[in-house]
Amino acid sequence: ARALAAETPLLMADEPAADLDPRHQLVVLEALAARAAAGATVVVAVHDLGLARRFADRGVVLDAGGVVADAAPDVALSADVLAGVFEVRTREDGGFERI
């Protein structure tokens, strides 16, 4: 909340929606998206790939200290990237399963 109130041109958040219920996850990510839409640079680290796909303009996937993908979320979180980095594949219901 303090970071949002400061209205700085750069905002970095590490897992800002962790441990929140689904409604409040959306509230937080919507607030960050609004800051980005207002011209701020917003960098967010998330492990919830659904939230990343929904809110990110760009996705950067890291593995073993290096960048594996840096692109639009649908490209950065493609089936090939998910399989290679996380050893999962997407199910038809949008969830994941180990491979």
pLDDT in tens, 33-74: 999 999 999 999 999 999 999 999 999 999 999 999 999 999
For residue 5, what pLDDT is reported?
84
94: left (phi over 0), alpha (psi -120 to 50) or beta: left
Of 13, 9, 10, residue with least CA distance to 1: 13
What is the average pLDDT score of the chain? 94
d(CA 67, CA 44): 16
64: left (phi over 0), alpha (psi -120 to 50) or beta: left
Q: Are 36 and 42 in contact (CB under 8 A)?
A: yes
For residue 84, what pLDDT is reported?
96
Query: Is the four-CA dihedral 37, 11, 66, 91 of positive or negative sign?
Result: negative
For the chain, how big is the Rg over CA atoms in Å? Answer: 14
